[in-house]
Amino acid sequence: MIAGILNVTPDSFSDGGRFDRPRAAIARGWRIAEEGAAILDIGAESTRPGADPVPAEEEWARLEPVLRGLRDLPIPVSVDTSKLEVAERAVDAGAAAINDVTALRADPALAGLAARTGVGLVLMHMRGTPRTMQLDTAYGDIAAEVRGALADARRTALDAGCEPGQIAVDPGLGFGKSLDGNLELLARLDEIAALGAPVWVGPSRKSFLGALLGVGPDERVTGSVAASLAAARRGADVLRVHDVRETRQALDVEGAIDAIDARDAVDARRAGDVRGARPPARPQAAGGRG
């Protein structure tokens, strides 16, 4: 599935300021649904590297009119926040999930909110805070360390009363990781998927793609789609992206090809069964030589 990103912020790294007015944000939310997203993920606080925190009242002031204007959206809405006060108000306004980039480190009480209300809870791995996360990107075994941290956060949510099906995990591409670290996490995403929780992945327009390709945020669509396809092949359940239409088309093409592969595999197996079947034994006449 695709989670379409809607940043109602003035300072997000890719589209900050484009949808920070409620009318523009609401129109974009409907467009994201029309382009094929299964989820709309709204954020009102930038978590780009170096970003400063936003007070809860300001974050809610950005979110509230947009959530009100999207009440009739035909897809569920998740809200990207780590603040209990904002999350409570968002759930009251109809949000179906909370996307916590701190994996409960900022406020473990978010797990209790999810347990009480039944909303989804996405737990993302990040070292430090957005302001400090890129100061330490060295890991011994990045996939093992990220998986261990996410397993601990998931256990915290379960202990708070969440059901397993409510909880998803996200390895946090771009959040306290180097170029090589991000690529290794994508290559070893199956190890994160082995936790048994749905996996969200957000490679969209991230700076590691810019470093790899030598392009700015607006020129990272192709790289974002390629990274998304790689993630889907390795176990991602939800792709969190800015470019919904392009990602949806790429997934549809790959899905059509996979369907042909699956059909051919079934046909080949059936043909093999027929070729390998032994003919029925020929009955022998009584007293024959056999």
Provide φ and ψ at 178, rounded to 5°. Answer: -85, 175
Which tokens is 221 given?
Answer: 């669509």
User: Strand, helix or coil at 199?
Assistant: strand
User: Strand, helix or coil at 48?
Assistant: coil
Provide φ and ψ at 170, rounded to 5°. Answer: -140, 125
Q: How far apart are CA 69 and CA 161, in angstroms?
A: 32
Task: Check: CB of residue 206 under 8 Å from CB of residue 174.
Answer: yes
Positions marked active-site? 206, 240
Which tokens is 215 given?
Answer: 């392009």
User: Helices (DSSP H) in the chain: which residue ranges?
Assistant: 22-34, 56-69, 84-92, 109-117, 142-159, 179-187, 189-193, 207-213, 221-233, 244-276
